[in-house]
Amino acid sequence: MGFQCVGILYADLGTSPLYVFSNTFKYGVGHKDDVLGVLSLIIYSFLLFAMVKIIFIALYANDDGDGGTFALYSLISRYARVALIPNQQAEDDLVSSHRHLSATRRRAQWMKNLLETSKPAKLTLFFLTIFATALAISDCMLTPPISVLSAVNGLRLRAPHLTTDQIVWITVGILILFFAVQHLGTDKIGYTFAPLVVVWLLLIAGIGLYNLIKYDIGTLRAFNPKYIFDYFRRNKKKGWVSLGEILLCFTGTEALFADLGYFSIKSIQLSFSFGLLPSVLLTYIGQAAYLRTHMDMTISNAFFNSIPRHFVLADVRPRASGFGHRKPSHGLMRLRDYVTSANT
């Protein structure tokens, strides 16, 4: 199951190094230490949000193994009368393995009473549920084209004659092809794509380690959060605005929770901690080491330019562009399945 996780859940996170630095420094690197500041932001955002919050906290807030916004709303509705349409039944106490909130926990009991007696609180909770679901659906629509287009764009390094229109149509073809096999199901798709994702993660980790050793081992100083404060102090408003691009490093992470119904918590935690995390962080660190010694280069293809010439990714790159959309699409299907089952 942990092997299937790699094929379904981590394709998007595994391809995020293709565009994070490129988007963040699209106007060039202003100061050499800005690279360390951005890298430090990526490291701690990835560790605190993706690993600590999602992997080791949010996954446990599930509804009998189901994750996602509607699962949380359904769970709350069983223990507090917050649903706009009354659906409380005596059997509700038996359908979940979660224990009731103890009455001795005053804060929890106060919150429960507030939700049950306040109409605005019920409306707010319902609105937040719908809004969060809409954001997840939007992510499922936006992430696949961004991931695939970023990867296919790297083909220009080997085939510079490709035009923008040709790149776009190649991207469209890949998206159509991979969405066409969705009907095969999570089990077959997971086992099919897992080897490709594993190869991709190993390759980018190797590239990152190579660049770190060759160009600037001092890039490891980015683990010192001091560079984050220096980055914001040096760039001021521009630095805060750049967070929109920097936080792309964990885009799609919410799908880890939404797809929980397909996998177990332990399988996600193990595959993330010992597979995805070290590989992606090594890739970002290696890119930063390369950028610090090539500040005059074109940043738009930072990832592909950092690949050593003897490293051949021509065969893996198109596949990487394809599996980059797997996770969001499965998150959308899981949302559909959960809502359908809840209405039956």
Of 88-97, 135-144, 272-281, minimum mean pLDDT range: 88-97
Tokens standing for 252?
A: 């799609």
Q: How confident is the model at residue 95 (pLDDT cuts 50, 70, 90)?
A: very low
**Residue 215: inside a domain:** yes
Tell me, yes or no, whether 317 lies in a domain. Answer: yes
Residue 339 has pLDDT above 60, yes or no: no
Max mean pLDDT among 177-191, 285-299, 313-327 falls in: 285-299
pLDDT > 90: what percent of the chain? Answer: 12
Domain membership flag for residue 91: no
Residue 157 within any structural domain of the chain: yes
| Total domains, the chain | 1
Average pLDDT over residues 300-328: 59
Max mean pLDDT among 18-27, 36-45, 114-123, 157-166 falls in 36-45
Which among 297, 310, 301 has a CA at the least distance from the CA of 155?
A: 301
The pLDDT assigned to 186 comes to 63
Q: Is the model's pLDDT at 277 over the cut of 60?
A: yes
Q: Domain containing 19: what range? A: 2-66+141-342
194 part of a folded domain: yes
Query: What average pLDDT does this structure show over 292-313?
Result: 73
pLDDT at 334 > cutoff 60:
no
pLDDT at 105 (0 to 100) = 65
Whole-angstrom distance, CA of residue 330 vs CA of residue 336: 10
| Residue 328 vs residue 194, higher pLDDT | 194
Domain contains 325: yes
> Tens digit of pLDDT for each residue in 113-134?
777 787 888 888 888 888 888 8
pLDDT at 220: 92
d(CA 23, CA 38): 12
pLDDT > 70 fraction of the chain, expressed in percent and rounded? 76
Mean pLDDT of all residues in the chain? 76
- Residue 199 lies inside a defined structural domain of this protein: yes
Each residue's pLDDT tens digit, 133-168: 887 777 777 777 877 787 787 777 677 788 888 888
Range 177-204 average pLDDT: 76
* Inside any domain, residue 88: no
pLDDT score of 285: 94
